[in-house]
Amino acid sequence: MLIVNNLTSYYSNIKILKELSFNLNQGQVLCLLGRNGAGKTTTLKSIMGLVDKTRGSILFNNEKLSGIPAHYIPKKGIGYVPQGRRLFSELTVEENLEIGLLARKKGKDTKDKVLSMFPRLKERINQISGTLSGGEQQMLALARALCIEPSLLLLDEPTEGLQPSMISLIRNSILELKKQGVSILLVEQRIEAILPVADEVIIIENGSKTFSAYAKEFKNKKTLQNLYNFTGL
Ligand SMILES: Nc1ncnc2c1ncn2[C@@H]1O[C@H](COP(=O)(O)OP(=O)(O)OP(=O)(O)O)[C@@H](O)[C@H]1O
Ligand SMILES: [Mg+2]
């Protein structure tokens, strides 16, 4: 459903991504690992049309995304949770969700469905989102992205800075979405945070793919250890 082929992205004239290629199938979770500055966020931004200069191709359900204005991309059913959440912090939980619903003109049914996944947000529906805890804000960012009923979800370090209980909540939501057939491109830095949900892992170093493996291949410890050694993550 998502085919990225030889993606090369630039900021000004500096080449950040270098001929990056990968595929994501329906209902699969593909994890992008890599150190700070490797190009993980740039990969997601390129898919969302937020990088001005890109080469190569990005196909979503056989449709070319390159050249489509950024604000049309969510209308295609691609949800994006940027790194650092980016909520409207002066607005309430409900207002943030309403903004999410607008992109694809979804209504109450969608909102109720999303809130049923996150009872904690339901309890805090009128709270100003800037006053939510870090974990709750991450939940809201995810919930807002779900308001477009995406078939593809891009998550940029959703567990960054969260405690283990929150991490497992986020992980359970990812598993639930996967069960519903949503495809997920998940950026993480720590391999142990994603292993339980990943179908496939790729590692990016300095804008290039240096490693890829199906999760079932590295379920045994030795391969996992090799992966650690390989990347120094
Ligand atoms: N808007 C920008 N203008 C110029 N350079 C940028 C811009 N955004 C990112 N970069 C550079 O591109 C490279 C890749 O950045 P990116 O944010 O994709 O890394 P990342 O893998 O997401 O890192 P992190 O784990 O720290 O989030 C970095 O060297 C960064 O400085
Ligand atoms: Mg990043």
Mean pLDDT in residue range 17-40: 95
Q: Write out residues with Cβ below 6 Å of ligand 1.
A: 11, 16, 34, 36-42, 83, 189
> With 70 as the cut, is the pLDDT of residue 145 above it?
yes
Nearest C-alpha to atom 4 of ligand 1 is from which residue?
11
Nearest C-alpha to atom 3 of ligand 1 is from which residue?
11
Q: How close is the Cα of 203 to the center of ligand 2, in Å?
A: 13
| Residue spans of alpha helices (H) in the chain | 40-47, 93-102, 108-117, 119-123, 134-146, 164-179, 191-194, 221-231
Write the CA distances from 223 to 36, 197, 227, 229, integer angstroms.
23, 17, 6, 10
Pairwise CA distance, residues 139 & 56, whole Å:
33
Write the CA distances from 199 to 9, 21, 118, 125, 136, integer angstroms.
26, 17, 24, 34, 26
pTM across the whole model: 0.93
Ligand nearest, relative to CA of residue 34:
1
Instruction: Count CB-CB contacts under 10 A for residue 152.
Output: 21
Nearest C-alpha to atom 24 of ligand 1 is from which residue?
36
Confidence of residue 97 (pLDDT cuts 50, 70, 90): very high
pLDDT the model gives residue 26: 94
pLDDT the model gives residue 213: 83
pLDDT tens, 190-225? 777 777 789 999 999 999 999 888 877 766 655 655
